[in-house]
Amino acid sequence: MTEAPASVTLSDLAQRFPEWVSADGRPGYQGDVVTAGHLREIASALKTDFGYDLLSSVTAADYPVEELQDVIYHFSKSTGGQPLELKCRVPRGEPRLPSLVAIFPGAELQEREAWDLLGIRFEGHPDLRRILTWEGFEGHPLRKDWHEPYFNEEVKPFKDRWPNAKQQPAEQRTVLKDNLKFPPGFNPEGWLQQDDEALYQALKREAVDTPGLISDRIIVNLGPQHPSTHGVFRMAVLLEGETIVSLKPVMGYLHRNHEKIGERNSWIMNIPYTDRLDYITSMSNNFGYVTAVEKLTGVSVPERAEYLRVMMAELTRIASHLISIGFLLNDLGAFYTPSLYALKERELILDVFERVAGSRMMCNYFRFGGVAADLPPGEIERIRGLAFERLPRSVAELDRYLTDSEIVRARCEGIGILPPERALAQSVTGPLLRASGVAYDLRRADPYSIYDRLDFDVVVGRHGDVYDRYRVRLEEIRQSIRILQQVVDGIPEGPILAGKPAWSTRVPAGEVYGRVEGPKGELGFYLVSDGKANPYRYHVRAPCFINLTSLAGMCRGHKIADVVTILGSVDITLGEVDR
């Protein structure tokens, strides 16, 4: 699991741009440091000459002691391999660097997030506004010196819980008896909320001119409370008649400060919090986080635990795709029947989770070095029944029910086309990318756990429309069933955890980017450790968040009824989009 393959290209990069690229010398850190002024040239060289066409992740970290802020980029090749890491260090007082949106449009939303949460300005960004908090919010929350209103101590466990605890609600500790903090001298009398002017200006700027009659355009807001937006998600749409001319997604309505809380938690406390990221696929999120931390600590996982992990991850993938198909049909207007059929199968999978991990949705099952508990007696027979009898039959039934239906085909074929070059440029991953024809699946491109020993196909679509995405997800359920069958047949006996269960882990200092193929796409965790019992920086590369970059391009030119369908095919879960 070392970074050796990528460093070959790093030295090539250093040869080509000798003054601008230097190795990151901090202990435990990988990647190269690049000067901010030449970032754009290096990035284009990576894309055109070295073949790194997918910008996996853009994130930032705050180092107040060194008076610097880091912006960390991870580049991947669509042909596979480990990611290449580059960093830019900017002064903390004046953090500015050029934006990569012109070369990699997928950086757009992530750079806005770095501006919002850390205050880093990206020059040349087309629309640098706050994304997860709101315009007018005071401060940049992820900075180390910014404390939230309910601030108790820097890290958990808090000293006032034991041994002398005087239980009081958190409200009592603050001046305003609530989770509020205002700048000194602030007078709320007659405060006018900052309107969405900036949003609507950006909307109009990105509109394309349509040929023919010049008509008035109206702005319609879909959401945040809307029956079909899969959660609290808002889209501002510029309409000409019923045709969409421009679209801007607005998120942050479920921003639950996962990353700030992640820095306060200890390493193991973060596992139940990752359950709540993409709440439908909790096992997969656990998997991603635990894989990243295990890369840092270097612990190796026993065989049985690996098999159990893959079993749970694939069951989660099936459950997630079932929901995706069911809710896509809801969005088409099939009044709940297909989703009820899909939810019925999902209930059986949730029963497995409940018996094994203890909860239907928030499983909290994975631990560093293995899993929390073994299968209860008799469980393997029930999972065998699911994998060999029940699920194949249900998928075949769903296939017969929906795939050839003329209504589904008429409403989904040719809608929301995403060409593969644009998909890669916009950092799209997961079934959305594969339906456009790019065979990029992390389980084959950058294998982790035991996936290199298992036999399955990567499902790829041809046209990149909504119908293909539905077909890809349906077929991926079949491939997951195939993996499940191999795992159920081949699971060995043995321990389920390396070493003894530990409530407090000391992770060696350094940084790591660990990723897994979640049902929605590449779920990555960028972690920085300073050798203590709590993470220093904790960032989630959320696939749904980044896949939304492609929404505007897919919807342009379609009718408003199709927006709902296209959003359903992108398959977002707000817990991950907003973290």
Partner 1 sequence: MAPLPGFGMLKGLWVTFRRLVDTYRVDLRWRGKRYRSSEGLQDRLSYKTRGIFTVQYPEEKIPPPENFRYVPFLVYDELEGGERKLRCTACGMCARVCPPQCIWITRAVDPETNKPLSQPAEFVIEADVCMNCGLCAEFCPFDAIQMDHNYELASRDRWSDLRFDLKKLSKPASYHAAIHPLRDQQETLERAGKKEEGAA
Partner 2 sequence: MTKTDALIPVEPTVPAELQGLVTLTSLDRIYDWGRRNSVWPMLFGLACCAFEMICTAASRFDFSRFGMEVMRASPRQADVMIVSGTVTKKMAGQVVRLYNQMAEPRYVIAMGACATCGGPFKEGYSVVSGVDKFLPVDVYIPGCPPTPQALLNGLIELQKKIDTESIRTARWYQKGPGESIPVPLLGPDLIDPRRTEEINLLSGAGTTKTAESQSQAEEPAHD
Q: Which of residues 306-345 bind partner 2 (CB under 8 A)?
A: 339-340, 343-344
Chain residues 436-475 in contact with partner 1, contact rule CB under 8 A: none
Query: Out of partner 1, partner 2, none, which partner does residue 149 contact, by CB within 5 to 8 A per kind?
Result: partner 2
Nearest partner of 523 among 274, 163, 261, 189, judged by Cα: 274
186 binds, among partner 2, partner 1, none (CB under 5 to 8 A by kind): partner 2
Binding part of the chain for partner 1, among 4-12, 101-109, 186-194, 396-404 by CB under 8 A, reads: 396-404
CA triple 200-202-206, angle to 5 deg: 115
Q: Does 260 bind partner 2 (CB under 8 A)?
A: yes
Q: Which of 49, 123, 171, 379 binds partner 2 (CB under 8 A)?
A: 171
- Shortest Cβ distance from residue 211 to partner 2 (Å)? 36
374 touching partner 2, by CB under 8 A: no
Binding of partner 1 by 368 (CB under 8 A)? no
Least CB distance to partner 2 at residue 412 (A) = 23
Q: Which residues of 489-503 are buried (b: 16+ CB within 10 A; e: fewer)?
A: eebeeeebbbeeeee
Structure tokens at 579: 């973290």
Stretch binding partner 1 (CB under 8 A), from 71-79, 238-246, 266-274, 571-579 = 266-274
Q: Is 276 in the site for partner 2 (CB under 8 A)?
A: yes
Binding mask 494-513 for partner 1 (x = CB under 8 A): -------x-xx---------
Exposed/middle/buried for residue 135 (C-beta within 10 Å: 0-12, 13-18, 19+)? middle
The single residue among 102, 362, 373, 498 that binds partner 2, judged by CB under 8 A, is 362
Name the token pair of 194: 């900052």
CB of 147 to partner 2, least distance (A): 6
Nearest distance in Å: CB 76, partner 1: 32
Q: Which is nearer to partner 2, 153 or 489 (CB)?
A: 153
Contact positions with partner 1 (CB under 8 A) in 317-346: 337, 341, 344
* Token pair in block for residue 42: 């290096």
Q: Rank residues 54 and 398 by Cβ distance to partner 2 and give the closer one.
A: 398
Q: Which does 450 bind (CB under 5 to 8 A by kind): partner 2, partner 1, none?
A: none
Using an 8 Å Cβ cutoff, are 277 and 542 in contact?
yes
Give me the half-sphere count of Cα atoms (radius 13 Å) on the Cβ side of residue 153.
10
User: What's CA 459's distance to the chain center, in Å?
Assistant: 21
Task: Give the sign of the dihedral formed by CA 311, CA 286, CA 108, CA 65.
Answer: negative
Q: Which stretch binds partner 1 (CB under 8 A): 3-11, 116-124, 399-407, 444-452?
A: 399-407
How would you label 47-77 residue by residue, b for 16+ Cβ within 10 Å and e otherwise? beebebbbbbbbbbbbbeeeebbbbbbbbbb
How many Å is the maximal CA-CA distance in the chain? 75
**Angle separating helix axes 337-357 and 303-332, nearest 10 degrees:** 160
One residue of 51, 124, 333, 385 binding partner 1 per CB under 8 A: 385
Local structure of 517: helix, strand or coil: strand
Residue 370 binds which of partner 2, partner 1, none (CB < 5-8 A, kind-dependent) = none
Give the one entry of partner 1, partner 2, none that residue 372 binds, where binding means its C-beta sits below a cut-off of 5 to 8 angstroms depending on kind.
Answer: partner 1
Give the interface segment with partner 1, choosing from 125-133, 164-172, 467-475, 566-574 (CB under 8 A): 164-172
Closest CA to 407 of 341, 334, 474: 334
Return the number of the residue (322 or 415) whose C-beta is nearest partner 2.
322
Radius of gyration of the chain (CA): 24
Select 180 or 220, whichever has its Cβ closest to partner 2: 180
Stretch that binds partner 1, among 61-69, 94-102, 375-383, 511-519 (CB under 8 A): 375-383
Told to check if 187 binds partner 2 by CB under 8 A, we report yes
Distance separating alpha carbons of residues 253 and 314, to the nearest angstrom: 30
Query: Cα(555)–Cα(426) distance, rounded to whole angstroms?
Result: 15
b (16+ CB within 10 A) / e for 200-231: eebbeebeeeeeeeeeebeeeebbbebebbbb
Q: Which among 258, 321, 255 has a CA at the least distance from the CA of 289?
A: 258
Note whether 467 and 412 are within 8 A (CB): yes
By CB under 8 A, the residues from 111 to 170 that bind partner 2 are 132-134, 136-138, 141, 147-152, 160, 166-170
Query: 527 and 296 in contact (C-beta within 8 Å)?
Result: yes
Tokens for 367, please give them.
């631990």
Total residues in contact with partner 2, by rule CB under 8 A: 72
Binders of partner 1 among residues 3 to 42 (CB under 8 A) are none
Minimum separation from the CB atom of position 520 to partner 2 (A): 15
- Enumerate residues 6+ apart whose C-beta is below 8 A from 280: 316, 319, 320, 323, 361, 519, 573
Q: Which does 300 bind (CB under 5 to 8 A by kind): partner 1, partner 2, none?
A: none
Q: How far is the CB of 119 from partner 2 (least distance, A)?
A: 15
With CB under 8 A as the contact rule, which of the stretches 278-286, 288-296, 385-393, 564-572 interacts with partner 1?
385-393
**Amino acid letter, 52:** Y
Q: Which of 48, 49, 64, 180 binds partner 2 (CB under 8 A)?
A: 180
Tell me how far, at minimum, the Cβ of 479 lies from partner 1, in Å: 20
List of residues contacting partner 1 (CB under 8 A): 156-158, 161-167, 265, 268-270, 272-273, 337, 341, 344, 348, 351, 354-359, 362, 364, 372-373, 376-377, 382, 385-386, 389-390, 397, 400-407, 409, 501, 503-504
